[in-house]
Amino acid sequence: MNDTRALFERVLTDEPPLSLDLGPVVFRGRRVRRRRRLVAVAGTVAVLALGSLLAIPLADGMRETPPTSGRAQIPDDLTPLQRTIAEALVDASPETFHYDLSRKRWDDESLVTTVDDGRGRTRFAVRFWPIYRSACLAASTGVCTGTLFPVLPEDGSQISSYELAPGAYSELMTNGAENGPAVQVESTTYLSKTRIVREQPPLTGGRLSYVAIKVGEAYRYFLARQGAQPPEARTGGEAQRRGGTP
């Protein structure tokens, strides 16, 4: 080790005198300090600006969450199960949605009614299917010429869009596991103001899937609390015949 050090010392012979002054060093140091402060301030401003940009749409989204006052539209003469479903439905929907939840719209736990989403009245249905979600979907939609879109890949939920008549479209969403009751939420726009592009999920698809999930949770929770079994499977055709149109 000493030899290596001696070698280095030999390299350092003829060392010129130090011409470095403290003044330029301090001047450069202050410049570095100023630059770092500037970068820190600019970074903070950028983070705040980005945060506010993100906060605006988030706040808008939060405003869309349903208020509890929506429960006022739930009539008193519903059965406990119907009331549970109705509350879940209202809670999961935007505050601009107004449902007709009167007693005559119900058949056991099935609901065939109308909803006013703020742009006009639409047919709306909620049905529960014990098994075989996809079969129910095909039976219910009848001439389902539209495309099936996966909504949430992890739970197998799907949404279909099909054209009932020129200018009239329907969206139908299902979710749930094959071993338990599936929930089907259907929304039909009789006079669509916005043409649904076949290759894309319907505009309200995300909202329908959310409604279906929340209603399904409430339904299963209710049955579990009552110790009841889910109702027998019905075909989509039967449900449509029984439910009718609004």
Q: Judged by CB, which is closer to other proteins: 9, or 76?
A: 9
What's the distance, CA 217 to chain centroid? 15
Q: 3-class DSSP state for residue 81? A: helix
CB of 31 to other proteins, least distance (A): 8
Name 99's bridge partners. Answer: 115
CB of 88 to other proteins, least distance (A): 57
Q: Judged by CB, which is closer to other proteins: 3, or 199?
A: 3
- Calpha distance 126→243 (Å, rounded): 10
Query: Where does this chain bind other proteins (CB under 8 A)?
Result: 1, 3-5, 7-8, 10-16, 18-20, 22, 24-26, 28-33, 36
* Residues 170 and 186 sit within 8 Å (Cβ to Cβ): yes
CB of 47 to other proteins, least distance (A): 22
* Residues 93 and 65 sit within 8 Å (Cβ to Cβ): no
CB of 43 to other proteins, least distance (A): 17
Q: Judged by CB, which is closer to other proteins: 35, or 198?
A: 35
CB of 36 to other proteins, least distance (A): 6
Kindly give, in sequence order, each residue whose CB lies less than 8 Å from that of residue 191, ignoring residues fewer than 6 positions away: 120, 167, 168
Q: Judged by CB, which is closer to other proteins: 10, or 104?
A: 10
Q: Judged by CB, which is closer to other proteins: 40, or 49?
A: 40
- Calpha distance 100→98 (Å, rounded): 7
Q: Judged by CB, which is closer to other proteins: 30, or 103?
A: 30
CA dist 141 to 20, 105, 156, 202, Å? 86, 20, 18, 16
The runs of H, that is alpha helices, within the chain are 2-11, 22-63, 80-92, 133-141, 205-226, 236-243
- Calpha distance 35→48 (Å, rounded): 20
CB of 24 to other proteins, least distance (A): 7
